[in-house]
Chain A
Amino acid sequence: MKIQTTLTINGETHELQIEPDRTLLDVLRADLGLTGTKTSCLEGRCGACTVFLDGLAANACLVLAAAARTRRITTIEGLARDGALHPIQQAFIDHGAVQCGYCTPGMIMSAKAMLDEGPAPTELEIRQALAGNLCRCTGYQKIVEAVMAAARLMAGGAAA
């Protein structure tokens, strides 16, 4: 049985007919072609599918799509504005924090969720905020450096 559901994603509304037991991750990827949200462990351990629900980071594999119908959903595709990368995205490129790239969208979403809450994190706070996102390539160091750099840039931008 399918149910009628309206999802608001990256500022756009989508009318969908979906089974009530399907996850947000599955619907984003299979029905809407938003494959920037990555699929991996499907049990909330790896963070590859991190999205925002009303601005808060969540694992899309643990959320039923139908249950997200009242929420503002943001995916990695919604981060760049008018073709300009978000400062965190640019910092990941500039600091060599991207290797295979599979954890990258989720990592950037978790970093943004943290920086939206507090603009000047310590290295420990960054590592704690990213603890739910697994990266197998980098050893995390360059990711932490990229987030530090983005935090400085964003704080400077807010002050100006």
Chain B
Amino acid sequence: MVGQRLSRLDADGKVTGRAVFGADVVLPGMLHGAVVRSILPHARITGIDTRRAATLPGVRAIITAADVRDIRYGGAVRDEPIFARDRVRYVGQPVAAVAAVTPEAAAEARAAITVAYEALPAVFDAEEAMAPQAPLVHEEWERYSALPLLRRSANICNRAQIVAGDVERGFEEADRVFEHRFQTGIVHQGYVEPRAALASWDGDGHVTIWSNTQLPFEVQGVLSEILQVPPSRIRVIATAIGGGFGGKLRLGVEHFAALLARRSRRAVKIVTSMEEELVAAYPRQGSVIDLKTGVTRDGRIVAKQGRVVLDTGAFAGAGPAVASVATLVLAGPYRIPNLLIEGYAVYTNKTNCGAYRAPSGPQANFAVESQMDLMADALGIDPLEFRLRNIVRDGDEGPTGQVLTGVGLEECLRKAAAAIGWGERRPAPGRAKGIACGWWTTTGGSSGVYVKLNPDGSVVLSTGAAEIGSGALTGAAQILAEELAVDLSDLALLSHR
């Protein structure tokens, strides 16, 4: 069973249209929710008027910061309020939410809620936000609770660093020193399915949430804080997910659906629009990367100084962790005795950024490998050869002191080069060949599944892993079927519920 190439267990439902995705779930009598979002990047809220909206036909509930806990939630830094209370920090920040009997009535009520703002100076560039005189995105940043290992200061919500050897001495040993700057923009994950949630409370204070989340336990945990309900009373049912790529790792609109449902005593569904996706999701951080690399005449890298500045937007989101990972990626999979690499996650009055496909990898690796090519060209060394002279090998110590084992990088590069005919490198007109390498980190952790044996001999595999298109659940089923020596047809798969 394990090792076989099987058709995916979820494929049949997906080709027939029977698979149930986030926006497909319905409950009898459910209401439809809409979120009022800030139209200014930085402003004081001087008033929210919901009176006219409340009188519109079909409107069943309106909630603002006044109706919810005054808490801050988040990841490494707990800086995000449920609704903006006295201040908005980016265009798209939630200010209020409304539930009504139809999506059209909810949209009308949303438009009828007026928010009075007093504009404040805003900062849109991460490097400008690092300057001492820059407007503070969070004046109260020192009062936020945060992971103690973060180094925070004003608009910088983390400064991560890797130091090895003596980088200045390293530059003195170099024959050539190359300095380059690279920039990348904020990028949305581009999943085709918008985020969606449906919430329903029972009479005993339990809430069930259907969500197209990548992380049902994350949703359960954060909802517990926001709703002031123990996790055991929150059931998150992960639907099929129409693509996530990291963009559905964090809370989307589940909390608004749950709060509106509690207020209205009706099930409430919210589906985000594509416009909301682009102003208020969790895209990849934009970056500015500076690299200074010292190389000997024979192509050995002896020193590297690097700085990556990530624009994490109005809240820390995944920024502090991504800045930390970025330092490792920026060092690159090379033997470099002298290193000074810094990663900054910086607040700006832009949309909150999150995780997207190997967070920090695309930005930092783009810079590292572009510079490798630029340096190889300047030194007159073949780009493959230049990499082979510097890559890490089995038993080497990585930039943070980890001893590397099972390193197959040289073999990988040589096989890739052979596969694309690197030796006879005459590209056709309008085409080009290139070769690059890189690394990203993965974190260890524990995981578990529930397996239930039914009296009829069938087996239920219940897991918190979500099927986001990778076939993970089919793989899990294959493992279980092999271990229990049962047919796949006797096995039912449940994502967390």
Interface residues of A (CB under 8 A from B): 29-30, 33-43, 46, 48, 75-77, 79-80, 85, 89-90, 92-94, 96, 98-105, 108, 134-137
How far in angstroms is the closest Cβ of chain A from B94?
A: 21
In the complex, the answer to whether B16 meets A98 with C-beta atoms within 8 Å is no
Residue interface bits B1-45, CB-to-A below 8 A is 1, else 0: 000000110111111111111011010000000000000000000
How far apart are B159's CB and chain A's nearest CB, in angstroms?
Answer: 34
Contact flags B190-207 to A (C-beta < 8 A → 1, else 0): 111110000000000000
A89: which of B15, B193, B245, B274 is its contact (CB, 8 Å)?
A: B15
Contacts of A40 in B (CB 8 A): 192-194, 242, 274
What residues on A are CB-neighbors of B11 within 8 Å?
A: 92-93, 98, 101
Q: For the complex, give the distance between the alpha carbons of A89 and B274 in Å.
A: 28
CB-defined contacts of B359 to chain A, threshold 8 Å: none
Task: Find the residue from B7, B14, B18, B23 having the highest chain A CB count within 10 A.
Answer: B14
Alpha-carbon distance A155/B291, docked complex (angstroms): 58
Q: Given the complex, which residues of B lie within 8 Å of A99, measured CB to CB?
A: 469-471
Q: Are B242 and A37 in contact (CB under 8 A)?
A: no
Total cross-chain contacts (CB, 8 A):
108
Known: A75-B17, A85-B15. A100 touches B243 (CB 8 A): yes
State whether A38 and B15 are in contact (beta carbons under 8 Å apart), knowing that A100-B241, A100-B468, A136-B245 are contacts in the complex: no
- A-B pairs, top 3 by smallest CB distance, nearest first, are A36-B17, A102-B242, A101-B14
Give the dominant DSSP class at A's interface: loop
Q: In whole Å, how far is B270's beta carbon from the nearest beta carbon of chain A? A: 13
Contact B17 A35 (CB under 8 A): yes
Q: Check A93/B20 contact, CB under 8 A, given A40-B274, A102-B242.
A: no
User: A93-B12, A136-B190 in contact; A38/B7 too (CB < 8 A)?
Assistant: no
A to B CB contacts below 8 Å, 24 in the list: A29-B24, A33-B26, A35-B21, A35-B24, A38-B21, A41-B274, A48-B192, A77-B16, A77-B18, A80-B16, A89-B15, A89-B16, A98-B11, A98-B14, A100-B240, A101-B469, A102-B21, A102-B192, A102-B193, A102-B242, A102-B243, A103-B192, A108-B15, A135-B192
Residues of B within 8 A of A30 (CB): 26
CB within 8 Å of A: which B260-276 residues: 271, 273-274
Across the interface, B192 reaches (CB within 8 A) one of A85, A94, A134, namely A134
Most chain B CB atoms below 10 A, which of A29, A35, A85, A94: A35
Please state if B192 and A93 are interface contacts (CB–CB under 8 Å). no
User: What CA separation (Å) do A136 and B21 show in the bound complex?
Assistant: 16
B210: min CB distance to chain A, Å: 13
From 451 to 488 in chain B, residues with beta carbon under 8 angstroms from any chain A beta carbon are 468-471
A69 to B371, CA, bound (A): 61
Given that A38-B242, A40-B274 are known contacts, is A105 also in contact with B17, CB under 8 Å in the complex? yes
Q: In the complex, which residues of chain B have a beta carbon less than 8 angstroms from the beta carbon of A38?
A: 21, 192-193, 242
Let me know if B194 and A77 touch, CB within 8 A: no
Chain A's nearest CB lies how many Å from the CB of B199?
Answer: 18
For B13, the chain A residues whose CB sits under 8 A away are: 101
Contact B16 A79 (CB under 8 A): yes
B15 pairs with A104, CB closer than 8 A: yes
Q: State in angstroms the CA–CA spacing of A29 and B189 once bound together.
A: 25
* Distance from A1 Cβ to chain B, minimum over Cβ atoms (Å): 13
